[in-house]
A and B are shown apart, each in its own frame.
Chain A
Amino acid sequence: MREMQPYLKTMYRAALRLTNNEHDAEDIIQDFLIKLYEKKVEIKSLDNPSTWMLRGVYNQYIDHLRKSKRNPIDLADSHNEKSLDELSNGQPDPHVITVQHSELRRLQQALNELPEDHRVLIIFHDIEGYTLAELEKVLGIPLGTLKSRLHRARKSLKNSLFMEPFIEPRRDTG
């Protein structure tokens, strides 16, 4: 299981970009590792470990999403009793501080407002740099569909970020 170590940060980064929440991202990675551990998966035997693991993280994220939609109440431990004062001394999350930069916040907000399948594609392709051929395996979606989805996703994102107050001028050629 220690052979997973080189891939951990990449997997965590993908999970965090998908969930926008550090704790959920850690949950996803941990649940994924438990599955690998239980199935006794040998990393060395995999053809393309990083793509294979991204697929695993993505599937775990889908599971997580389904669970959180089905039941918004999580079971915490019954001995988890802390006073309000003890709980209120937390330091701001570094990830949250980073996204407070205004331009970045606008971009992040526009990204979060995309339909989920568009958002996932932008995260994996444009931010994390996976090719569409790789994502065909990761997401289990045909290349042609991915291409047209990417076209629409980028267009929506561009339109929401560079919103023009005036109607687009007529094209002068073609």
Chain B
Amino acid sequence: MKCSQVDKLLNDYLDGNLSPVQKMDFNMHIRQCKTCRYNIEQYKTLLQQLRDIPAPSPRYGFEKRVFSFLGSTTSNSKRSFRISHLLVTGLGTAITAGLAMWLVLTPATIIPNKSVEKITIQLVPEQTKNINLVFHSPHDFPGATLKLELTDGIELARYPGKKLLQWNTTIKKGANRLNLPLVSRDYRGGKLLAHIIRDGKTRTFSIDVITSRPASQLNTLETLSMNSFQEKQNV
């Protein structure tokens, strides 16, 4: 068996789907070929790591929540269920985030130019933090544009590398929740600007991001930077 054939049969081997004869040939090759053996060891390690990812359990009360609509059969009561369900979801996300911003948009305040609301949040690099921007509006505002601008160093977990995002949307009557899974890639910090644009006028919300190290890593990181400094001096 050649390396190219080993590569072709690799997944069947890893999944245990080779015939006894194929398996024998396969094993004979990897005993002789160091490169293929090394490659397969890496695949085996990868598959083991994937299998070892813990199986997440639902949060307390999950079954009760998902079956909560069963008690009602009319469309109205199902609708009530959906609304309360949205409420629970919105609240739950905000609580998990540990931070929520409640901003009031009234017909008078949505329009003014150069109106900027400023907020500062703290992130630990590479740890996603869900930020909820909640816009209260007394009326529906169709045809609005939502634009997000991010500086280098921060991004939204669902849109890696994107620095400018834009959607045409309707700001609905009531609370409009915008979930932003923010992640900082380094220690520089950054800024996120959320613009709501309607009829050529803009309202901007500015979120300053500062970054910090998790307390558990402080000593380790400081030691590492000290070591690299000493090494440079020695050179």
| A interface residue numbers (CB < 8 A to B) | 1-2, 5, 8-9, 12-13, 16-17, 22-23, 26-27, 29-30, 33-34, 37, 68, 71-82, 84, 87-90, 93, 95, 98, 100, 103-105, 107-109, 112-113, 122, 126-127, 132, 147, 150-151, 154, 157-158, 161-162, 168-174
Shortest C-beta distance, B78 to chain A (Å), equals 7
Closest approach, in angstroms, between the C-beta of B133 and any C-beta of chain A? 9
In the complex, the number of residue pairs spanning A and B with C-beta atoms less than 8 Å apart equals: 190
Interface pair A76/B175, CB less than 8 Å apart? yes
Bound CA span A82–B83, Å: 17
Interchain CB contact under 8 A, A75 and B35: no
- Contact between B50 and A75 (Cβ–Cβ < 8 Å)? no
Which B residues touch A68, using CB under 8 A? 158
CA distance A100 to B46 in the complex (A): 18
Inter-chain contacts of A79 with B (CB < 8 A): 87
Q: What's the minimum C-beta distance from B121 to chain A, rounded to whole angstroms?
A: 11
Partner of B57, one of A9, A75, A158: A9
Identify which of A13, A22, A93, A171 contacts B35 (C-beta below 8 A). A171
- Other-chain contact of B175, A30, A37, A77, A103 (Cβ < 8 Å): A77
CB distance from B229 to the nearest CB of A (A): 23
Bound: A95/B54 CA distance, A: 9
Task: Give Cα distance in the complex from A9 to B171, angstroms.
Answer: 36
A71 — which chain B residues lie within 8 A by C-beta?
167, 169-170
Is B160 a contact of A113 with CB atoms below 8 Å?
Answer: yes
Within 8 A of A (CB), among B31-75: 32-36, 42-43, 45-47, 49-51, 53-59, 62-63, 65-67, 69-70
Cβ-defined contact, A75 with B176, below 8 A: yes
Q: A98-B54, A126-B47 are in contact. Are A30 and B33 (CB under 8 A)?
A: no
Beta-carbon contact of B56 and A30 below 8 Å: no
**B contact residues vs A (CB 8 Å cutoff):** 1-6, 10-11, 14-15, 29, 32-36, 42-43, 45-47, 49-51, 53-59, 62-63, 65-67, 69-70, 78, 83-87, 89-102, 126-127, 134-136, 146, 157-158, 160, 167, 169-179
Residue contact A173 to B29, C-beta cutoff 8 Å: yes
Q: Contact check: which of A78, A108, A122, A154 meets B174 at CB < 8 Å?
A: A78
22 sampled A-B residue pairs with Cβ under 8 A: A9-B58, A22-B96, A30-B85, A75-B174, A76-B87, A77-B87, A77-B175, A78-B173, A80-B87, A81-B102, A81-B175, A82-B91, A87-B94, A90-B98, A107-B53, A126-B47, A151-B11, A168-B35, A172-B33, A174-B2, A174-B3, A174-B6
Q: Given contacts A23-B89, A37-B69, is CB(A76)–CB(B53) below 8 Å?
A: no
Known: A23-B89, A30-B85, A154-B11. A73 touches B171 (CB 8 A): yes
User: Cα distance A88–B101 when bound, in Å?
Assistant: 11
State whether A23 and B146 are in contact (beta carbons under 8 Å apart), knowing that A74-B179, A76-B175 are contacts in the complex: no
Roughly how many angstroms separate A170 CA and B35 CA in the complex, as a whole number? 8
